[in-house]
A and B are shown apart, each in its own frame.
Chain A
C-alpha cells in the first residue's frame, strides 16, 4: 500500500518549480503544466493568476518581495533598493536582473523589516544591508553566497507556558493513548475545554466528533499552517521547534476520527522550513510513528505537505481545502461544513497548528493538566505574537485571561496609543481597553498583538490594513470584492487630504454592508479596523477632512493620474 497521500505532483508545487527556473508562468507553460498534470488549461490559468507569488510576466533573476506589514514591513527600504538598482517597484529591470515588489505580511514581525529573496526569507533589514544587497545583486552573486546571517530566523520566545515549556519525546502521546478507544480520546479532548486557536474558537472535541460521526469511507485531517494574519508568527515557532508534537497531534486526531491521510498546508512565506518539516516526517516514518500500523495500533496514517503561494484567504478553512484540491482559494458555501463535506467531499477536520500541538499534549498529560490554566470559558494557554512598538517583540505564552496591559508591560511597550488584537481582522483598541482580558469571552485572538505608540500615524495603520484586505479579497462575492476596494479608495481619499464629511458617512455605510453581507470571514472582518477607528479615534479622520460639509464627489488630483501616466510625468507641476 502506498502511504504517501499525494504521489503525483501538486499544481501549486509544479507552478513554483517552473517559476523558480523560468522566472514566470508563460501561456505555453500553463498549457504544458495543464497537460502534464491532466488538468483543464483554464484551471491552471485561474490558479496561476489567483496566488500572489505566481507571475505572468518575467521577474528578475533576483526577485525581491518586501513585506508591507506594519510590523515586518520595509517599504522605505524597498524604495531605497529600487533607487539604488534603478528599478520601479512592481516592475522588472530591462536587463532582467532584478524585480522588486511588495507582499503582505511574511510573519517575521519579531525580526523587524523583512523580505523574501527568490522565496527565501531575509530578516532584520537595515540601510547598510540594502547597500550591500544592491552590490551583491549588481555583481550577480548567487543568493546562496549571500551572508548566512541574513537568513537566520530565531524563535524569540520571551515567555514559556503550558505548551512551550514542556519537552516532548516523539511518540510519547501516541503511547499514552495506546489501547484507548476513539470515544475515550474524544472525551479527554472535550473535557480539556480545548477550543480552536486560529481565532474562531470552535470546540476541538466537538469538531473531531462531528467528523468521526459523519458517514464516509474516507476522512482527512488537515493542519492549517497558513498563518497569514499580519502580526501573527506563533505557528512559525511551533513549526520550527515543535513539529513532532504537531504531527503527533494530527496522528492522534486521525486515529480518533478514523482518517488515514493528512495534509499540512504551509503558507508559501514559510517555504524555508519545508525541508526540515519533510525530514521530521521522514524520521517519524522511520520510527514507526507514521505509515502502516503505527505503533502496532493497526492504524495507518501519513501526512503530506502542500505549500501555498501567497493568498491570505487560504487561511479560511474551506478556501484552504480548495487550494489543496489545486484550485483558486475561494471559500465554499457553508453549510455543509468541512466536518461533513471537506477535502474531496469527505469529512475533514481542519485545525490550527497550535490547536493540534495542544491536543497532543492533552493526550499525553490528561485534560486536568490543561484545564487548570485559563478562564472558565477559555481553558489552557495562548501563544501571543507580540510585535510593533515595544522593546521585546516575540512569542509570549500566557494562560488565558491575561490583561492587555500586562502583555504591554512584559513586552516593554511605552507611550502606547493603540493595540491591534487579532491582526487587521481583529480589534483596534485604545488605552481605555487595556484592562480587558485575552480570552474568547472578552478579546478573542488568533495570536496577533500589534503595538502602536504615539509616534505612529494611526490612520496610516488603518489605511495599511484596508489596502491589505482589498489586495487579499478573493473576489468571489460582490460586497467584499467591490466593497474592500471602495473602502481602500475612500480611505486613500481621506488620508490624501481630499475627504469630506460625506466620505466618512460613505465609509461607514460601506463598512457596515461589507461586514454584514459578505460571503466569508474575510469580508466580515475586513472593515473592522475602519469601524473601530471611526468609533474610538474619530479625530484621526476629522483632522484630515478637506471640508466638513461640502461634498466634492471626486478627487481631482487622482483623476489626473491617467494623464500623468500618458505624459510620463509625476513632478509637482503635474499635481494639484
Chain B
C-alpha cells in the first residue's frame, strides 16, 4: 500500500496512520503519542472506565481506548482544557480512595501518582471520601489493600485473558464498588492465583502488592524517578519493576533521574 493510501486520523493537528480495527489509543501509542490512561494496557481488552484517555473527536467527548479510529477524525488530545479535565479525574481517583503516597510501598512505581505529577496535580482538590475497605493479607506472597484500588479492572482482565483464570471481580455499586476474589471464602489465599501471574503484578497502584519485595528499591531510583509516564513503551519496564526493580536493568545507571526532565 502506498503512503497516500494509508488511512489517517489527526491528533492535535498531526496525521497519525491507523489500521482497520485499531482504536484511537492503539494508533496514538504506535505513533509514540501519549494519551494519559490508567485502565488501558496493550494486550488486554479495552475497558474505557477510568476516562483519563478522554479526547474530543470532532468536538465530541470519547474514550480513546475504546473508540475505533476512523478516517476523518480530528482529535484534540494534549490541550490545556483536556489536561485540566484529566487532572480533575485523577483528583477524583485520589480522594475516592486512601492514597497516602509517602507511606505507600508503591510510591515512585505508581502510575496514578506519576499521572498526577504529569498533569501538575498539587492536591486532591475535592474533599476526601476516606473509605474503609478490607485488607486481604491471606495469601503467602500477595496482599490486597482495597483502599488504594481505583477500579481499573486490569487485574480482573489480566487474570481472565492472560492467566487463564478468573481470580478477581468487581462487586457492589457506585462508590461501594470494590475488588472481590473469586475463591470459596472470598480470600486471596484460597484462590488459585500464582505469584507469577500477570494479575499479581499488573496493578497500577498499591492495591495489589508483592510481599517479598517491599521497599527494596530506594526512593529516587524507582520507575517514575527514571522515566516519564508519557513514555509510550514503558509497559514492560513497569511490570518488571514491580518484581525486581533494580536487577539487570540498564536503566538503573540513570540514578537520580528527575521526573519530567
Contact = CB atoms under 8 A, between A and B. Distances in A.
A491 to B, nearest CB: 13
B68 A335 contact: yes
Nearest to B179: A42
B88 interface: yes
Interface stretch (B11-19, B133-141, B168-176, B251-259): B168-176
* Best-buried of B85, B166, B171, B176 by chain A (most CB within 10 Å): B171
Interface of B: 46-52, 54, 61, 63, 66, 68, 85, 88-89, 92-93, 95-96, 126-127, 129, 150-151, 166, 168-177, 180-184, 186
B174 A479 contact: no
B92 A479 contact: yes
A255 to B, nearest CB: 32
* Best-buried of B49, B96, B176 by chain A (most CB within 10 Å): B49
A517 B54 contact: yes
A235 interface: no
Interface stretch (A202-210, A465-473, A540-548): A465-473
Contact of A516 (B61, B92, B93): B61
B61 A40 contact: no
A471 B126 CA distance: 19
Interface string A335-373: 100000000000000000000000000000000000000
Q: Which 5 A-B pairs have the closest CB atoms?
A: A42-B182, A42-B169, A482-B92, A475-B177, A46-B171
B48 A477 contact: yes
Contacts of B183: 41
Interface of A: 27, 31, 40-43, 45-46, 48-52, 311, 328, 333, 335, 470-479, 481-486, 489, 509-510, 513, 516-519, 553-554
Given A335-B68, A478-B89, A519 B173 contact: no
A486 B96 CA distance: 10
B51 to A, nearest CB: 5
Contacts of B126: 482, 486
Given A333-B46, A335-B68, A513 B85 contact: yes
B166 A31 contact: no
Contacts of A31: 184
A479 B51 CA distance: 7
B96 to A, nearest CB: 5
A42 B50 CA distance: 22
Contact of A482 (B48, B68, B93, B180): B93
Chain A binding surface, main DSSP class: helix
Contacts of B49: 476-478, 519
A482 B51 CA distance: 12
Contacts of B48: 333, 477, 519
A514 B180 CA distance: 27
A472 B174 CA distance: 7
Contacts of A554: 127
A42 B168 contact: yes
Given A27-B186, A485-B174, A478 B50 contact: yes
Nearest to B178: A49
Nearest to A483: B92
Contacts of B182: 40-43
Given A479-B51, A486-B126, A513-B88, A49 B176 contact: yes
Contacts of A42: 166, 168-169, 171, 180-182, 186
Contacts of A52: 173
Contact of A471 (B129, B151, B171, B174): B174
A62 to B, nearest CB: 25
B93 A474 contact: no
Given A45-B186, A483-B92, A517 B173 contact: no
A50 B96 contact: no
A31 B183 CA distance: 9
B169 A482 contact: no
Nearest to B47: A333
A31 to B, nearest CB: 6
A280 to B, nearest CB: 32
A46 B180 contact: yes
Given A475-B174, A486-B92, 14 more contacts: A40-B166, A42-B166, A43-B169, A46-B171, A46-B180, A49-B173, A311-B173, A477-B48, A477-B49, A478-B92, A478-B93, A482-B175, A516-B61, A519-B51
A37 to B, nearest CB: 15
A23 B95 CA distance: 35
27 contacts: A27-B186, A31-B184, A42-B166, A42-B169, A42-B181, A42-B182, A46-B169, A49-B173, A51-B173, A311-B173, A333-B66, A475-B173, A475-B175, A476-B151, A477-B48, A477-B51, A478-B50, A478-B92, A478-B150, A478-B151, A481-B96, A482-B93, A486-B127, A513-B88, A519-B48, A519-B51, A519-B63
Contacts of A45: 169, 171, 180, 186
A485 B169 contact: no
Contacts of A553: 127
A332 B115 CA distance: 26
A485 B175 contact: yes
